[in-house]
Amino acid sequence: MDNDKLPTGGRLSAAPLIGLGDKGLLRRAFLRGGVVATLSVGSGVAAAPLAVPDSSRLLGKPVANDAYGRPSKYEANIIRRQSPGLTRTNESSIAFTPLQNLFGTITPNGLHFERDHAGLPDLDPSQHNLAVHGLVAEPKIYSMDDILRLPSVSRVHFIECGANSGLEWANVAVPTVQFTHGMLSCAEYSGVLLSTLLDDVGIDLKRARYLLAEGADGAALTRTIPLAMALDDVLLVYAQNGEMLRPENGYPLRLVVPGVQGVSSVKWLRRIEVGDQPWHTREETLHYSDLLPSGKSRQFTWIQEAKSVITSPSGGMTLLDKGGYYEISGLAWTGRGRVKRVDISTDGGRNWRSTRLQEPVANKALTRFRADWVWDGAPALLQSRCMDETGYVQPAMRQLREVRGTRSIYHNNAVQTWQVTSTGEVRNVQV
C-alpha cells in the first residue's frame, strides 16, 4: 500500500542518521542525496565522546515508587483542555483531547475527552444499580456485581461528540486540532452487549421500537436509542482500556453506542426504559438537532459520518526545519463501519495521494493514517479525505455548507485544512 517513496538518497537507513538528529542542515543534505557516501557515523560532527549522564550511573527509584503510575514529568503539558469562552460553566462543559500529542489509535484514559452536563458525579459502585423496565416481561434491577458477572465483550470504538468541529461551520474559530477535533476519543471498551440484557428481561419485540437511556448525574441526561441499534452493537460498558471507567467517562457504568454521536453514549447509566415511541428529550430537540437554512431542524441525526484530520503537522505547530522530511499522520473514522482509504493533499485539494492505514482497521474505530512528506519549504495546504467502506467520501466544507448552511452546529465532518507557511508555522484555515 505504500506508494510514497523518499527522494534521492533512498530509504532512511538507520546508521547515517545517528548523531545527526538535530543537525537540520546535514539531515537535509543527506535527504537530498549526493553526499551520502561522504557521511558516516561521527564524521563531520564534533568528536567529543557522548556524555554519560547521572541516570546511567545512579540507582533509580524503587519499583512501585508510584503505585498506580503516571506519565513522565516531562509530559506535564499533554493534557485535556477547555476551549476558552465556549461554555458558561465548568460543570456543563467540555474538556478536549489533545489529538496533536497522541500516537496510534487508542486514547489514554487520562486524556479521553469529557463532556458533562451537570458536573462530575461521585458514584459508589456498591450503591449503583441499573434498572431495565418498560415493554419487557420482567422489569429488573442489576447491581454492579450482577453486571460484571454477565457474559462480556471487549471492542474498540471511537466516541465523537456530535458537536465536534461545530464551531467552524461558518469560519475558522480555534487554533489547534485539540479544539477543532478533540471531542473525539477511541478506546477498548469492555462490558455487556445491551442485547444480552434486553434478552434477560424479556423485551417485547412486537411492540418495542425505542429505548430511553438515562444517567445518574444531576442532569439525568436522557437520550432515545433506536431498537435496531440497541439489538445490534450497543454496549453496556464498565471498563475502558483494561481498567474500570474513569469517573469522568461514566464510572461505574455507561452506554457506548458505536458510530453514533457521543451524547447517546449516556454516562453514569442508571436506567433503560423500553418504549414504542421516541421521547423528544431536551437533548434531542432544543440541542443535538441540526438546524438547516430553512429553519427546520433535522432530528435524531444519530450517525457520525466519515471524517478525518491530520494531527501532525497541525495547527499551532512549528516545523523547525525549513524543508525536509516530515511524516504526515492523522486519524480517520466513520460511524458506518470501517475506513477504506484516506487520501492527503498538500496543495489545498488540487492533487491527492493515498496514505498507509494502520492495521487492523477496526469497525467504528479510529484508524491511523500515515504518509511521507518532504516539505520543499514553500507554503503548503495540508488536507486529508476519508473514504469509508460504503464508498462515501468525506466532503469539502463548501459542499457541506451548500446543503446544510452554517448554523447546524452538529455533524461537521468537512475536510480540514492546515496551512504551512514559508516560516514553518502551521495554521488553521479554510479554503
Q: Which is nearer to another protein, 205 or 286 (CB)?
A: 286
Find the shortest distance in angstroms from Cβ 408 to another protein: 10
Q: Which is nearer to another protein, 211 or 366 (CB)?
A: 211
**Residue 23 touches another protein, criterion: CB under 8 A:** no
Task: Please select the residue that binds another protein; options are 15, 62, 64, 67, rule is CB under 8 A.
Answer: 62
Task: Please select the residue that binds another protein; options are 187, 194, 219, 257, rule is CB under 8 A.
Answer: 219
Q: Which is nearer to another protein, 32 or 427 (CB)?
A: 427
**Residue 252 touches another protein, criterion: CB under 8 A:** no
Secondary structure (3-state) at 407: coil
Q: Is 13 exposed, middle or buried (0-12, 13-18, 19+ CB in 10 A)?
A: exposed
Say how many Å lie between the first and final Cα of the chain, rounded. 29
Cβ-Cβ contacts under 8 Å for 31 (sequence gap 6 or more): 6, 7, 9, 324, 325, 374
Cβ-Cβ contacts under 8 Å for 113 (sequence gap 6 or more): 80, 94, 95, 96, 97, 107, 159, 161, 182, 183, 184, 185
Q: Angle at CA 111, nearest 5°, toward 125 and 336?
A: 90
CA-closest candidate to residue 187, choices 248, 272, 120, 273: 248
Task: Please select the residue that binds another protein; options are 114, 343, 361, 420, rule is CB under 8 A.
Answer: 343
**C-beta separation of 425 from 413 below 8 A:** no
Determine the size of the site formed for another protein (CB under 8 A): 123
Find the shortest distance in angstroms from Cβ 104 to another protein: 15
| CA distance to 104, 145, 161, 195, 360, per residue, from 239 (Å) | 20, 13, 20, 18, 21
Rounded distance between C-alpha atoms, residue 77 and residue 305, angstroms: 31
CA-closest candidate to residue 135, choices 197, 208, 199, 230: 208
**C-beta separation of 254 from 127 below 8 A:** no
Find the shortest distance in angstroms from Cβ 93 to another protein: 12
Task: Please select the residue that binds another protein; options are 114, 116, 160, 273, rule is CB under 8 A.
Answer: 273
Q: Which is nearer to another protein, 11 or 61 (CB)?
A: 61
**Residue 341 touches another protein, criterion: CB under 8 A:** yes
Find the shortest distance in angstroms from Cβ 389 to another protein: 11
Find the shortest distance in angstroms from Cβ 323 to another protein: 16
Q: Which is nearer to another protein, 9 or 177 (CB)?
A: 177
| Binding map of another protein across residues 395-424, x = CB under 8 A, - = no contact | xx--xx-xxx--x---x-------x-----
Q: What are phi and psi of 107, to 5 degrees?
A: -85, 125
Strand residue runs (E) in 180-247: 184-193, 210-215, 222-226, 235-240, 243-244
| Binding map of another protein across residues 285-324, x = CB under 8 A, - = no contact | xxx-xxxxxxxxxxxxxxx-x----------xxx-x----
Which residues in 24-53 contact another protein (CB under 8 A)? none
Which residues in 132-161 contact another protein (CB under 8 A)? 132-133, 138-143, 146, 149-151
Task: Please select the residue that binds another protein; options are 5, 11, 14, 22, rule is CB under 8 A.
Answer: 22
Cβ-Cβ contacts under 8 Å for 13 (sequence gap 6 or more): none
Find the shortest distance in angstroms from Cβ 373 to another protein: 17
Residue 318 DSSP class = B
Find the shortest distance in angstroms from Cβ 305 to another protein: 7
Find the shortest distance in angstroms from Cβ 33 to another protein: 25
Q: What are phi and psi of 131, to 5 degrees?
A: -100, 135
Rounded distance between C-alpha atoms, residue 97 and residue 181, angstroms: 8
Can you give the length of the chain in residues? Answer: 431
**Residue 385 touches another protein, criterion: CB under 8 A:** yes
Which residues in 75-94 contact another protein (CB under 8 A)? 75-78, 81, 84-85, 88-89, 91-92
Find the shortest distance in angstroms from Cβ 147 to another protein: 8
Q: Which is nearer to another protein, 9 or 213 (CB)?
A: 213
Which residues in 91-130 contact another protein (CB under 8 A)? 91-92, 98, 100-101, 117-118
Residue type, 47: A
Find the shortest distance in angstroms from Cβ 47 to another protein: 21
Q: Which is nearer to another protein, 9 or 382 (CB)?
A: 382
Rounded distance between C-alpha atoms, residue 372 and residue 1, angstroms: 13
Longest C-alpha distance within the chain, in Å? 81
Find the shortest distance in angstroms from Cβ 280 to another protein: 5
Q: Which is nearer to another protein, 109 or 419 (CB)?
A: 419
Which residues in 187-206 contact another protein (CB under 8 A)? 200
CA-closest candidate to residue 384, choices 425, 319, 330: 330
Which residues in 345-374 contact another protein (CB under 8 A)? 347-353
